[in-house]
Amino acid sequence: MKYSVEFHLISTDIAPNGGIRPGALLRYFQEAINLQMHDNPPSTEDLFDNGLAFILSRTTMKIYIPFKVYDKINVVTWANTSKGATFIRSAQIFVNDELAADIITAWALVDFKNHRLVRVKDAVLGIGTLDELPDIPLPEKIKFPEDCEMTLVGEKHIVYGDIDRNNHMNNTRYVDMICDFLPDIENKAVKSFTINYLTESKLGEVLDIYHTSDGEKDYFYAAKKDGTHSVDVELKLEEIK
């Protein structure tokens, strides 16, 4: 029930400071999911053709070691035993058999034809589940520090290159978007992050980006012009030595 696939990191996966773009790791993770479902139908494309799509609601990733360009990575992913309308999925990324990153995600299966969520017990999928979870916490609702003021630091226009077949900004784009607004990012690497995906961002929309820090972690939210949060983000950074 675990699915393993190898990829080679490419030059554009590496940021100017030499660190891995965290969105790149999410893209390999998502591709591993798609490949597992392709090999064990219904695939994500089959679901889409029938008016169904998995929509990511929360992500947590922890990165343990530096990644280098052209590293061969092994992404191991599996679906977790779940209940209600929340589908939990995990992954671990290895470099030369060394654990490099852990990921836990929570998804909703949306029936667009009938405008409803599909519950776990009613989903017809070709993959099994495991109870095993990586040794990191499940992604939870982000709580912003009460004594730190959120400051507007810029805005993001949603363009064609950001959106996917669901016609909204792809979930893997958000963390790299946030990194664009991190102070002194050229001297830092992302060691862990949690993202709450709250409302979809569509082509042509403009998001206002707000930031604060409590000295240990950085916090962001991206808001639409009506104030609705698109994503809330919590990151932990490390100085590049």
How do residues 163-183 score in pLDDT, each as one tens digit? 998 889 999 999 999 999 998
What distance in Å separates the CA atoms of residue 62 and residue 3, rounded to the nearest whole number?
Answer: 20
Q: Which residues lie below 8 Å from residue 120, measured CB to CB, with a gap of 6+?
A: 82, 83, 84, 85, 86, 87
Q: How confident is the model at residue 12 (pLDDT cuts 50, 70, 90)?
A: very high
CA distances (Å), origin 74, targets 4, 15, 26, 29, 147: 7, 20, 13, 10, 41
Q: How many CB atoms lie within 10 A of CB 144?
A: 15
Query: What is the DSSP secondary structure assignment for residue 135, as one 8-state letter?
Result: S
pLDDT digits (tens, 9 = 90+) for 93-151: 999 999 999 999 999 999 999 999 999 999 999 999 999 999 999 999 999 999 889 99
Read off the pTM. 0.95
